[in-house]
Amino acid sequence: MSSFSRVRTLWCFVLLLALSAAAQSPPVPTQIPGQNAILMGVAWYPEQWPEPRWEDDLRLMEAADVKVVRIAEFAWSRMEPSEGKYDLDWLERAVNLAAKHHIVSVLGTPTATPPAWLTQKYPDTLRVEPNGQRVTHGNRAHASVSSPRYREFCRRIAEQMARRFGHNPNVVGWQIDNEYGYALMSYDDITRQRFQDWLKAKYKTLDSLNTHWTTAYWSQTYDNWSEIPIPVGGHNPGLMLEWKRFVGHEWTDYQQNEIDVIRKNAESRQFITGNFMGFFDGFDHYEITAPLTFASWDDYVGSGHVDPAFNGLSHDLTRGFKRENFWVMETQPGAVNWHSVNNFLNRGEARAMAWQAIGHGADDVNYWQWRSALNGQEQYHGVLVGADGTPVPFYDEVSTTAQEFAKVESSFRGTVPVSDVALLYSYDSHWAIQFQKHNQNYDDIGVLKNYYRALRQLSQSVDVISAYAPLSGYKLVVAPNLNVLPKDLADHLLEYARNGGNLVLGPRSGMKDEYNALLPQRQPGYFADPLGARVEQFYALEKDVPVPVSGAWGSGTASIWAEQLKTTAPDAEVLLKYGKSNGWLDDQPAAVTRAFGKGRITYIGAVLDDKLTAVAAEWMVQKSGVKAVFGPVPDGVEVSRRTGGGKQVFILINYAPDSRTVTLPHSMKLLLDGKESDKVELPQYGVEVLADTK
| 514 in catalytic set | no
CA 120 to chain centre: 36
Kindly state the greatest CA–CA separation across the chain: 94
CB 452 within 8 A of CB 617: no
Cα atoms in the 13 Å half-sphere on the side-chain side of 154: 32
| 159 binds ligand GLA per the rule CB under 6 A | no
Q: Binding segment for ligand GLA among 308-316, 330-338, 385-393, 500-508 (CB under 6 A)?
A: 330-338
| 638 in catalytic set | no
Nearer to ligand GLA, 119 or 369 (CB): 369
Nearer to ligand GLA, 66 or 478 (CB): 66
Which residue in 73, 80, 179, 638 is the catalytic one?
A: 179
CB 72 within 8 A of CB 91: yes
Q: How far is the CB of 372 from ligand GLA (least distance, A)?
A: 12
Length of the chain: 694
| 298 binds ligand GLA per the rule CB under 6 A | yes
| 381 binds ligand GLA per the rule CB under 6 A | yes
Q: Which of 176, 336, 458, 616 binds ligand GLA (CB under 6 A)?
A: 336
Q: How far is the CB of 370 from ligand GLA (least distance, A)?
A: 12
Q: Which of 179, 188, 444, 563 binds ligand GLA (CB under 6 A)?
A: 179
* Residues in contact with 178: Cβ distance below 8 Å, sequence separation at least 6, in sequence order: 73, 74, 108, 112, 113, 140, 275
Measured CA to CA in angstroms, residue 596 lies from 502, 530, 534, 623 at distances of 9, 7, 15, 13
Q: How far is the CB of 317 from ligand GLA (least distance, A)?
A: 17
Q: How far is the CB of 368 from ligand GLA (least distance, A)?
A: 5
| First-to-last C-alpha distance (Å) of the chain | 39
What are the residues facing 535 on neighbouring strands? Answer: 565
Nearer to ligand GLA, 178 or 429 (CB): 178
Q: How far is the CB of 478 from ligand GLA (least distance, A)?
A: 30
Q: Which of 150, 368, 452, 630 binds ligand GLA (CB under 6 A)?
A: 368
DSSP 156: H
Q: In degrees rounded to 5, what are phi and psi of residue 428?
A: -55, -45
Q: In degrees rounded to 5, what are phi and psi of residue 567?
A: -80, 145
Q: How far is the CB of 72 from ligand GLA (least distance, A)?
A: 12
CB 326 within 8 A of CB 361: yes
Q: Which residue's C-beta sits nearest to ligand GLA?
A: 298
> Nearest CA to 29 among 464, 363, 466, 312?
363
Q: How far is the CB of 357 from ligand GLA (least distance, A)?
A: 15
| 602 binds ligand GLA per the rule CB under 6 A | no
Nearer to ligand GLA, 296 or 401 (CB): 296
CB 692 within 8 A of CB 668: yes
DSSP 518: B
Instruction: Name the strand (E) or helix (H) holding 363.
Output: strand 362-367
CB 519 within 8 A of CB 540: no
Q: Which of 279, 300, 435, 619 binds ligand GLA (CB under 6 A)?
A: 300
Nearer to ligand GLA, 40 or 336 (CB): 336
Q: Which of 57, 330, 397, 444 binds ligand GLA (CB under 6 A)?
A: 330
Exposure string over 110-120, b if 16+ CB within 10 A, otherwise e = bbbbbbeebbe
Nearer to ligand GLA, 41 or 238 (CB): 41
Nearer to ligand GLA, 107 or 462 (CB): 107
Which residue in 47, 80, 159, 330 is the catalytic one?
A: 330
| 178 binds ligand GLA per the rule CB under 6 A | yes
| 109 binds ligand GLA per the rule CB under 6 A | no
| 527 binds ligand GLA per the rule CB under 6 A | no
Q: How far is the CB of 105 from ligand GLA (least distance, A)?
A: 17
* Residues in contact with 232: Cβ distance below 8 Å, sequence separation at least 6, in sequence order: 130, 187
The region, left, alpha or beta by phi > 0 then psi within -120 to 50, assigned to residue 284 is beta
| 350 binds ligand GLA per the rule CB under 6 A | no
Q: How far is the CB of 352 from ligand GLA (least distance, A)?
A: 19
Instruction: Name the strand (E) or helix (H) holding 678.
Output: strand 675-682
What gap in Å lies between CA 543 and CA 559, rounded to an integer?
8
Grouping H, G, I as helix, E, B as strand and the rest as coil, residue 568 is coil
> Nearest CA to 360 among 236, 495, 452?
452
CB 361 within 8 A of CB 299: no
Q: In degrees rounded to 5, what are phi and psi of residue 665?
A: -60, -30
Nearer to ligand GLA, 11 or 338 (CB): 338
Q: How many residues bind ligand GLA (CB under 6 A)?
A: 10
Nearer to ligand GLA, 198 or 300 (CB): 300
E-strand ranges in 217-340 read 271-273, 275-276, 296-299, 326-331
Nearer to ligand GLA, 377 or 661 (CB): 377
| 370 binds ligand GLA per the rule CB under 6 A | no
What gap in Å lies between CA 334 and CA 32, rounded to an integer?
27
Nearer to ligand GLA, 372 or 523 (CB): 372
* Residues in contact with 17: Cβ distance below 8 Å, sequence separation at least 6, in sequence order: none
What gap in Å lies between CA 115 and CA 78, rounded to an integer?
9
What gap in Å lies between CA 186 and CA 144, rounded to an integer?
5
| 177 binds ligand GLA per the rule CB under 6 A | no
What gap in Å lies between CA 173 and CA 94, rounded to an integer?
15
Q: How far is the CB of 188 from ligand GLA (least distance, A)?
A: 25
Q: How far is the CB of 125 from ligand GLA (least distance, A)?
A: 21
The set of catalytic residues is: 179, 330
Q: Which residues of this chain interact with ligand GLA, rule CB under 6 A?
A: 178-179, 298, 300, 330, 336, 338, 368, 378, 381
